[in-house]
Chain A
């Protein structure tokens, strides 16, 4: 039974990776004007404004979203650990809900929350009600606010996921350890940096890797919220690859972008894991 599983896996995942790499050495469209051009796609990338913009946007997005997801997850889990006693399970169950919602549905929901025309969406309606009419604006229609809107949405969706994971690690810290530290006079920030943080270090690194591999692949949420717009303000690397492949019919070039995504993904995961092992 391993054989059919292995064949499907190899056929659908491994063969295509090699295939993508081979495509990336060609230019144009298979069957039409496909010519071998060596590594020129990889060189062209650095003068292609759209791809460069997508790389920049994607990294800016990672810089906000990964610390946002993991950092807020840590904050909420600490709050839950130290101040919620009775309704722990209930809090955990509620916090996790956004994680299970389909990305497209969440994006459509946020699109309606950010809406201004024809009706005020949730956010504009609230701003209007509390007397902040001057802040009412088409959040998804302006490049600076559209980026922020996307970041807020993707942090909102994932906080609960990281809260639950980090909370699980906090619960596993032996309580004698915390007690002993308290008796020695450690409290507040010192207790956190000297005792708690080292104990949850491994799980924090796992969370960073997880968040990173999710954010570098950014596609579904941005596609469903803004379609990459306005202009290219929220176009990620994967979306740039998609456009080149399925809109401009540049399979060769798009494959090179895909390989670039894979390389970045593997490289940064490796670096985060490495850093985690060296410190402390």
Chain B
């Protein structure tokens, strides 16, 4: 017994050391970005890149924000993400409600079609979408991104919200119908408040997916004034990346900060949201 216990202890200690080292490997690069974004560019020539900044130098952020046009990209990303998020939630909740709690003819077929959308790789729709938006004059507009994001956001949203709705009892709806409530009242007064957690989770996942998109914004947007943070960051690093290390690190930090801040405040929600798609899908 004693020997076994000893072996177990050693295993536990080795495991702990392994986990700690692993956590450092996972988190140190992020710390390195934040530290490097506070160094003036010349400092990279003088000290090794893992050294901490001698004195915090915030000028990099001003440069990234104005000269790097991060202010424009950031604004575009914010508008596109928030607007599509609004519509994903609006259309997603109502559709999920109609597809689980209401009875109509083609319901199951429509549901199946929506759910099959989860599997579709973006590559398959890229060329026709480009032609379509070109024909409609939508290239270089925010609308092209918003429409695409809504369409790609809906399948997973409807799927996850259906999971929440199925578990809600029908009696409540029946009682409301007997009391003379209309379908819209049932939805806004009863279902919507009950779906709150589900909606927040879905919103958080979609925020991450849409904020992080590269392939669509790269394809549909070529005008600098319309670029999003991700395309803007790529563009900036192509232009100045090699010469101005301080500024590029500040740009990276700016693009990372919103996602990091949301994560710090809502990490439970984020983890649950991001993994629920995988577990249930």
**Residues of A bordering B, CB below 8 Å:** 1-2, 4-6, 8-17, 19-20, 23, 30, 76, 79-80, 82-84, 91-105, 108-113, 117-122, 125-126, 128-129, 156, 159-161, 164-165, 168, 187, 203, 206-207, 210, 213, 216-217, 219-220, 223-224, 237-238, 241-242, 245-246, 251, 254-255, 257-259, 261-262, 265-266, 269
Known contacts A30-B131, A104-B234; 5 additional CB pairs below 8 A are A96-B263, A100-B259, A102-B259, A242-B219, A258-B123
Q: What residue in chain A is nearest B219 (Cβ atoms)?
A: A246
- If the complex has contacts A91-B23, A105-B233, A108-B233, are A258 and B126 also in contact, measured as CB distance less than 8 A? yes
Asked if A100 and B208 make an inter-chain contact with CB atoms under 8 angstroms apart, the answer reads yes
Nearest-Cβ distance from residue B20 to partner chain A, whole angstroms: 9
Q: Which residues of chain A are near B29, meaning CB under 8 Å?
A: 109-110, 113, 122
Asked if B26 and A9 make an inter-chain contact with CB atoms under 8 angstroms apart, the answer reads no
Q: Which residues of chain A are near B4, meaning CB under 8 Å?
A: 187
Q: SS class of chain B's interface: helix, strand, loop or mixed? A: helix
Q: Which residues of chain B are near A213, meaning CB under 8 Å?
A: 119, 121
Asked if B129 and A16 make an inter-chain contact with CB atoms under 8 angstroms apart, the answer reads yes
Asked if A76 and B125 make an inter-chain contact with CB atoms under 8 angstroms apart, the answer reads no
B224 on the A face (CB < 8 A): no
Q: Which residues of chain B are near A110, meaning CB under 8 Å?
A: 29
B67 on the A face (CB < 8 A): no
Asked if B123 and A105 make an inter-chain contact with CB atoms under 8 angstroms apart, the answer reads no
B44 on the A face (CB < 8 A): yes
In the complex, A3 Cα to B12 Cα: how many Å?
56
- If the complex has contacts A113-B29, A122-B32, A206-B278, are A84 and B16 also in contact, measured as CB distance less than 8 A? yes
Binds A, one of B56-64, B162-170, B194-202, B209-217: B209-217
Asked if A11 and B151 make an inter-chain contact with CB atoms under 8 angstroms apart, the answer reads yes
Q: Which residues of chain B are near A223, meaning CB under 8 Å?
A: 214, 218, 234
In the complex, A161 Cα to B23 Cα: how many Å?
13
Asked if A262 and B50 make an inter-chain contact with CB atoms under 8 angstroms apart, the answer reads no
Q: Mark B236-276, 1 if CB is under 8 A from A, else 0.
A: 01000111010011011001100110010001001100110
Q: Which residues of chain B are near A159, meaning CB under 8 Å?
A: 26
Q: Which residues of chain B are near A259, meaning CB under 8 Å?
A: 124
Asked if A255 and B127 make an inter-chain contact with CB atoms under 8 angstroms apart, the answer reads yes
- If the complex has contacts A159-B26, A207-B278, are A109 and B98 also in contact, measured as CB distance less than 8 A? no
In the complex, A110 Cα to B252 Cα: how many Å?
11
